[in-house]
Chains A and B, each alone.
Chain A
Amino acid sequence: MDFKKPQFTKISDYIWEISKDYKQGMRVPARIIASKKVLDQMDDHVYDQITNVATLPGIVNYAYCMPDGHSGYGFPIGGVAAMDTEDGVISPGGIGFDINCGMRLIRTNLTIDEVKPKLHELVDTLFKRVPAGVGGKSKMRLSPQEFKQVMERGSKRCIEKGLGWEEDLERTEMKGSVESADSSKVSEKAIKRGLGQVGTLGSGNHYLEIQHVKEENIENSELAKKWGLFPDQVVVMFHCGSRGFGHQVASDYLNLFLDVMQSKYGIKILDRELACAPFKSKEGQDYFSAMNCAVNMGFANRQTILHEVREGFASVFGKSAEDLEMHQIYDICHNRASVEKHNVNGEMKELIVHRKGATAAFGPGREEIPELYRDDGQPILIGGSMETGSWLLAGVDSAADTWFTTAHGSGRVMSRAQAKRTYRGEELQKNMEKKGIYIKAVSFKGLAEEAGGAYKKIDEVIESATSAGVSKKVAKLIPIGNIKG
């Protein structure tokens, strides 16, 4: 592939710009949010892909890449683009195949000393309760009618079915149920792929983790306390999405957009993975409705897993989940597009904001934040590698330029194949155990691909995100137990 390394204009220590002149067809400049060190670790495809994004019709101000950016297809992972809903496009490649891939964080009133003696039993119990891996089948296979409820109502349907607490909805982005979801826009194939997958973790970089809140890792004690964290507490975090259902929705609409994009709408793109349609067109609206079904499925998936986690803890500790105070702190999505109002050069505009491997990070007061957290800024969950830890952050006012968006994870620096050559799953598991992290994995090969060394250092990514002013630190969470698909 012909590739010319771009010249970066330093906007600040943490913002690097690639000008519109870099590539023919760029409508706006591209901006990468990263320290110099993190920027230098990014692979070259990131620059190529983010400048391709800058060519999409209707893109406003900049194509952004977050500090955890790494090469994807179409958009890089970490890519963010806001299009004007009037004359802009929607692109499945700006959302990803795993629609509503996201993170959920649950607190407990247990301390590390109470959990440590039972850690193996706890991880083994959760491993049995939460199906993981390829072919990890859900305990329930839904009827198409029941699945329709999931597609259109998300977590709300789970709560009605007794899979969770009413308050969980208040602590989930968009209350776990996005409105503009129309199941008639979803193919039979997608539905068949999803029927048996509600409540399953999946594989790849998806995981469920038991984490330790160390006193020295609490960075903002006021917010940490308000949100229910305390020193030496044990919390649970997990990462998964809408599974094969969402993958099929994305694939179906990429096919459709490739058919109509140029012939019907005269749009030319630089990478077929950026296939798109005008947001207000029939095809654009149909995709938006179908994508939102997958957003709801993703919420329902994590809600069902939460139910299993609560039941698992209750059985191991001999107390109810209520007695263990297993309240959800938050659930966020990092692969979706949503219609939001933002200030564009002094004027409030309606934008369709694409976030692919990037997290919404609304500052205090924004109506998108549940009332519970509205004064604080949105809770943000950043998943690190299974060795290094994860972060809880909060949204800040100064993130307005990036459409209130921050990073979503560490970002890969080593390919899966290279990781498999470098690490052996069995050995990794033993080494992790020595470090006090008990891992249960479906696949040792899959485990090797997710070794901590295959990722950027999470603390450097967080440093970039916070120093650039797109979020602020609350606490770092250290893994002690991990389930990998």
Chain B
Amino acid sequence: MPYKFIDGVAIADVTFEATGTTLEELFESAANAVTASMVEDLKTIEEKITKKISISGKDHERLLHNFMQELLFYKDAEGLVFSKYTIKITGNSLEAELVGEELNQEKHEWITDVKAVSWHMYKLEKTEEGWKAFVILDV
């Protein structure tokens, strides 16, 4: 799970940097970071429900943004959080299987709700090691 939370950027919100050797790995890291902002221990999320999604974006940066937003959609619309991802990116589109379960305030240790993925300082870039994203979440 290569992501790390960064302090002191937007004091009322959550900032993280996610990395991956491939684009798919980076998307998975970012998804884990989004969920880890809400749930203390991702290991407590059992693999009970699978959602298949197809998303596209104008470019990879927009695609990642849309993908993270999709997680927030499922959190509110169906009360789901995920801990396992199978992602396939083709061009500026992706197909993914998200595996997780329904939110349970007793079972999962909640931290806070994520409202949205902001655009402030948002960045996806290619690095020597692979890919890196910088994200600020509105909580």
Residues of A within 8 A of B (CB): 1, 43, 45, 70-74, 77, 93, 96-98, 133-137, 189, 192-197, 202-205, 243-244, 247-248, 250-251, 254-255, 258-259, 271-273, 275, 412-418, 442-443, 445-446, 449, 485
Q: Is B46 close to A, CB under 8 A?
A: no
Q: What's the count of A-B pairs with C-beta under 8 Å? A: 142
Q: Is A443 in contact with B7, judged by CB distance below 8 angstroms?
A: no
Q: Is B7 in contact with A415, judged by CB distance below 8 angstroms?
A: yes
Max chain B CB contacts within 10 Å: which of A72, A194, A202? A72
Q: Is B13 in contact with A136, judged by CB distance below 8 angstroms?
A: no
Residues 52-66 of chain B: 1 if any A CB is under 8 Å from the residue's CB, otherwise 0? 000000100010001
Pairs A–B under 8 Å by Cβ, sample size 11: A72-B120, A73-B138, A74-B120, A134-B105, A196-B79, A203-B110, A251-B69, A273-B120, A445-B40, A445-B111, A445-B112
Q: Is B113 in contact with A71, judged by CB distance below 8 angstroms?
A: no
What are the residues of chain B within 8 A of A418 when measuring CB–CB?
7-8
Q: How far is the CB of A242 from chain B (nearest CB, A)?
A: 10
Q: How far is the CA of A194 from the CA of B109 in the complex (A)?
A: 24
Q: How far is the CB of A427 from chain B (nearest CB, A)?
A: 17
Q: Is A203 in contact with B113, judged by CB distance below 8 angstroms?
A: yes
Q: Is B93 close to A, CB under 8 A?
A: no
- Given A416-B13, A443-B111, 20 extra CB contacts under 8 A: A71-B10, A73-B10, A93-B119, A96-B138, A97-B118, A133-B113, A134-B103, A189-B73, A192-B76, A196-B76, A244-B76, A244-B115, A247-B76, A251-B69, A416-B14, A417-B7, A418-B7, A442-B110, A445-B109, A445-B111
Q: How far is the CA of A415 from the CA of B136 in the complex (A)?
A: 13
Q: Is B104 close to A, CB under 8 A?
A: yes
Q: How far is the CA of A45 from the CA of B139 in the complex (A)?
A: 18
Q: Is B7 in contact with A446, judged by CB distance below 8 angstroms?
A: no
Q: Is A134 in contact with B110, judged by CB distance below 8 angstroms?
A: yes
Q: How far is the CB of A201 from chain B (nearest CB, A)?
A: 10
Q: Is A415 in contact with B104, judged by CB distance below 8 angstroms?
A: no
What are the residues of chain A within 8 A of B122 when measuring CB–CB?
272
What are the residues of chain B within 8 A of A77 when measuring CB–CB?
12
Q: Is B119 in contact with A258, judged by CB distance below 8 angstroms?
A: yes
State which residues 28-70 of B face A: CB under 8 Å.
38, 40, 58, 62, 66, 69
Which residue of B11, B62, B116, B121 is within 8 Å of A415 (Cβ)? B11
Residue of B with least CB distance to A96? B138
Q: Which 8 A-B pairs have the closest CB atoms?
A: A73-B120, A135-B103, A244-B76, A272-B119, A193-B76, A203-B113, A192-B77, A97-B116
Q: How far is the CA of A251 from the CA of B117 in the complex (A)?
A: 8
Max chain B CB contacts within 10 Å: which of A1, A93, A412, A417? A417
Q: How far is the CB of B11 from chain A (nearest CB, A)?
A: 4
What are the residues of chain B within 8 A of A203 when measuring CB–CB?
110, 112-113
Which residue of A72, A97, A443 is within 8 Å of B109 (Cβ)? A443
Residues 1-37 of chain B: 1 if any A CB is under 8 Å from the residue's CB, otherwise 0? 0000101111111100000000000000000000000
What are the residues of chain A within 8 A of B11 when measuring CB–CB?
43, 70-71, 412-416
